[in-house]
Amino acid sequence: MANKTTKKTTEPTKTAANGFLAGTPWVYTETVKEHFLNPRNFLMGDESKYQYDAKGIVGNPICGDQMLMFIQVEDGEDPKTKKPAKIIKDVKWKTYGCASAIASTSALSELAKGRTLDDALKISAEEIEEYLGGLPKHKFHCSVLGHEALAAAIANYKKK
């Protein structure tokens, strides 16, 4: 279940090299910070070594973020209908993105595991934001990028 820590840290940044002015506060929740610094299901190294069933790639030309999502799918049962369904067994991802994109996709990867393909498509940007305890309004679009990559991976899987 989601970590509901929503306290925002006001630790000043140590260097301006990270894109923030030195001495400005961190404007994200502790949960966002945790997912940014320790992203879940991030694919390290060569993706050709990861056994996946489908992948999706999307980008946002406005901010320059790019997302690559890989899914493993298995036969299972829809917990709601008790009918056979395709279930997301595992999710891995890579990104060129900001802290919000990284944290949002980390959260999304946790939310998607174990869901049916159709249920995973219903994960909303609002659900991701709630899981993270909030995002700055100007960074809300970052939570959409991971979902778009997941949707592309699912669409590619369904084409098979």
Active site residues: 63, 142
Please give the full DSSP string across 17-44, using - where no structure is assigned.
GGSS-TTPBP-SBHHHHHHHHS-TTB--
CA quadruple 126, 133, 137, 17: dihedral, nearest 10: -130
Nearest to 105 by CA among 155, 53, 52, 141: 141
Residue type, 103: A
Cα distance between the two ends of the chain = 32
